[in-house]
Amino acid sequence: MAFDHRKYVPFKPIAKADRRWPSRVIEKAPTWCAVDLRDGNQALVKPMSVAQKQRMFDLLVKLGFKEIEIGFPSASQPDFDFCRKLIEEKRIPEDVKIQVLTQARPELIERTYEALKGARRAIVHVYNSTSTVQREQVFGLDRAGIRDIAVNGARLVKELAAGFPDTEWTFQYSPESFTGTELDFAAEVIDAVTEVWRPDQGQPVIINLPATVEMATPNVFADQIEWICDTIRYREHLSISVHTHNDRGCAVAAAELAVMGGADRVEGTLMGNGERTGNMDLVTMAMNLYSQGIDPMLDLSGMAEITEVVEACTEISTHPRHPYAGELVFTAFSGSHQDAIRKCLSKRREGDAWHVAYLPIDPSDLGRRYEEVVRINSQSGKGGVAYVLERDYNISLPRWLQIEFSKVVQREAETDGGEVDSHTIHRLFEERYLKVHPDWALRAYDLHRNEEGVQAEVSVGESADPVSLTGRGLGAVEAVSDALERRFGIALAVEAYDEFALSEGTNANALACIRLTVNGKPCSAAALAEDTTSATLQALFSAVAQAVGVTMPEAEAADA
Ligand code: KIV
Ligand code: ZN
């Protein structure tokens, strides 16, 4: 059987009775380190060109990253050249530290320092693999052998740095494949490395704990981090960093829980590009903090630019559902969601805390437009359709017409099978409700009010010979309805009518909507006009036209 779960061994939980991280709350942003230009680049089908690297570097600086891993110069000539270019062309802002990766091998460490010659500040990131699997199956070394690689690497890093006293050095060590390493051994190696570097004597040191492969639930990773923080020597002099990968889809959660477990620093990439399923997504983690009212210490307000640059540099497109960044992440298609969002947004006052159903953050904070929030397809309800008409065309509909018109839009969406855009919604409304047939166009009206009610004289039709109607009633609608009944011998009952004044900036000043029955047959129409009476009478004529036919029928009881 090919699909056989019995092949796998469950990850052993960490025996830890005193875990404190579950009750911690993150209150400030960690130190961020972007590894797009190293881990991210290493994972690309087509590595970034110099121009793409430069563009990515400039974006990272602009977003506010102060630590940027720019490559693996000892393993790649393009990375070496890019490092030289940044230094020689003085492209690194004073408050930004570049970081470079090297394996803990003498020739690679030496080449790394060549690449960094002249840097004002730099982080030398040295690693070797420590996990059981790597020790036994890849390197064929015991614990002592692996520890010696790390220690010898650390010694050389320190020794060579001393030859460049003008550079402000930070040393970083990663026990690669940390998640698969026995914790006591990870602590042993870390202690051996820091014993060489002596962070307690003023040397800045970062210990980076990678989930090179994500192997368990994020709580297990948090346990591992808390355990290491509690165990290693010099903890208070160290910056503890995490570097999570996304094999189980939980890289962000693992990094967040690791911060709760004591990590000070987080490495990741924009949009989570990286080996296999990717690195931890810096955008998501930073925005998660932001949505909790915490300053992420990164400026992610230009999300369109971020996605554009990342896509251009990685040649990987952004998933439309990517948290905070995808095209659809602030969009509601379903009617109940649209309704709730619309209600919350309309109640919201400037300066209020953000409490909007279905929207964890304000889309405008990321440069997104409210126009994107409510989009219409066959699952949308009356609220969404009404919202779009009001938002884009200043047309507000009464509830009964919202219900009726949403069915028109739904039919269109079902026929078309996709989204109905704002322009189409407006066109459907015009075609179904606002169209005025020339025979039924209101030409003129005269209303006389006395103690008995209203006497209406109306002429209809654009021809040279318009039809004249007269009738009586308590109000204008009743009087004109009476005129229509007399003239055409029909029974007309008005079920609902609403009129709205339109705000400035539109050609018409009024919108009227009417629903009636003519000889028991329901019909409805709307009209835009300069004044509410004209709009109401025109809506009445258009509705009757639907019931009796657009061409003006012969008078049945003319002048009766
Ligand atoms: O994923 C990993 O373990 C790495 C290390 C080199 C830090 O990228
Ligand atoms: Zn990695």
Residues 551, 555, 556, 560, CA torsion sign: positive
pLDDT of residue 557: 44
Q: Is 212 in the pocket of ligand 1 (CB under 6 A)?
A: yes
> 328, 320 in Cβ contact below 8 A?
yes
pTM for this model (two decimals): 0.87
Q: Is 127 in the pocket of ligand 1 (CB under 6 A)?
A: yes
Q: How far is the CA of 518 from the centre of ligand 2 (A)?
A: 73
Nearest CA to ligand 1 atom 3: 212
Q: Is 39 in the pocket of ligand 1 (CB under 6 A)?
A: yes
Nearest to 253 by CA among 229, 276, 220: 220
473/373 Cα distance (integer angstroms): 46
pLDDT of residue 371: 81
| Three-class SS state of 365 | helix
Domain parsing of the chain, residue ranges: 27-314, 335-423, 438-559
HSE, side-chain direction, 13 A CA sphere, residue 407: 5
Nearest to 38 by CA among 90, 80, 87: 80
120/330 Cα distance (integer angstroms): 42
Nearest CA to ligand 1 atom 4: 212
> 496, 485 in Cβ contact below 8 A?
no
Closest ligand 1 atom to residue 210 Cα is 3
Where do the H-state alpha helices sit in 163-302? 183-197, 218-231, 251-260, 282-290
| Three-class SS state of 169 | strand
Tokens 């397809």 belong to which residue? 377
Q: Which tens digit of pLDDT belongs to each residue from 197-210?
A: 999 999 999 999 99
> 128, 106 in Cβ contact below 8 A?
no
> 243, 208 in Cβ contact below 8 A?
yes
Q: Which tens digit of pLDDT belongs to each residue from 451-503?
A: 889 999 999 998 888 899 999 999 999 999 999 999 989 999 999 999 988 86
Nearest to 210 by CA among 248, 184, 239, 181: 181
Rounded to 10 deg, the angle between the 77-88 and 106-116 helix axes is: 30
Q: What is the DSSP letter of 177?
A: T
pLDDT of residue 209: 99
HSE, side-chain direction, 13 A CA sphere, residue 55: 15
| Alpha carbon separation from 67 to 32, 122, 366, 370 (Å, rounded) | 7, 9, 23, 34
Closest ligand 1 atom to residue 35 Cα is 8
Return the structure tokens found at 286.
Answer: 């930073």
105-112 LR contacts (CB < 8 Å, sep 24+): 105/153, 106/152, 106/156, 107/74, 108/74, 108/75, 109/74, 109/153, 109/156, 109/157, 109/160, 110/74, 110/156, 110/160, 111/73, 111/74, 111/80, 112/73, 112/74
DSSP 268-310: EBGGG--STT-B-BHHHHHHHHHTTT---SS----HHHHHHHH
Residues in the chain: 560
**33 burial via Cβ count (<10 Å: 0-12, 13-18, 19+):** buried
Residue 303 sits at φ, ψ, to 5 deg, of: -65, -30
173/205 Cα distance (integer angstroms): 8
Nearest CA to ligand 1 atom 8: 39
pLDDT of residue 505: 56
Q: How far is the CA of 211 from the centre of ligand 2 (A)?
A: 8
Which of left, alpha, beta for 118 (phi over 0: left; psi -120 to 50: alpha)?
A: left
| Three-class SS state of 418 | coil
Q: Could you say which of 1.10.760.10, 3.40.50.720, 2.40.160.40, 3.20.20.70 is the CATH number of the domain covering 27-314? A: 3.20.20.70
Q: What is the CATH number of domain 438-559?
A: 3.30.160.270
Closest ligand 1 atom to residue 213 Cα is 1
Q: Is 243 in the pocket of ligand 1 (CB under 6 A)?
A: yes
Nearest to 70 by CA among 96, 103, 106: 96
User: What is the greatest pairwise CA distance in the chain?
Assistant: 113
522-525 LR contacts (CB < 8 Å, sep 24+): 522/495, 523/547, 524/401, 524/404, 524/433, 525/433, 525/434
318/307 Cα distance (integer angstroms): 7
3-state secondary structure 59-122: HHHHHCCCEEEEECCCCCHHHHHHHHHHHHCCCCCCCCEEEEEEECCHHHHHHHHHHHCCCCEE
| pLDDT per residue as tens, the chain (560 positions) | 799 999 999 999 999 999 999 999 999 999 999 999 999 999 999 999 999 999 999 999 999 999 999 999 999 999 999 999 999 999 999 999 999 999 999 999 999 999 999 999 999 999 999 999 999 999 999 999 999 999 999 999 999 999 999 999 999 999 999 999 999 999 999 999 999 999 999 999 999 999 999 999 999 999 999 999 999 999 999 999 999 999 999 999 999 999 999 999 999 999 999 999 999 999 999 999 999 999 999 999 999 999 999 999 999 999 999 999 999 999 999 889 988 998 999 899 999 999 999 999 999 999 998 888 989 998 888 989 998 998 899 899 999 999 999 999 999 999 988 899 999 999 999 999 999 999 999 999 999 999 889 999 999 998 888 899 999 999 999 999 999 999 989 999 999 999 988 866 566 789 999 999 999 999 999 999 999 999 999 999 999 999 888 676 665 544 43
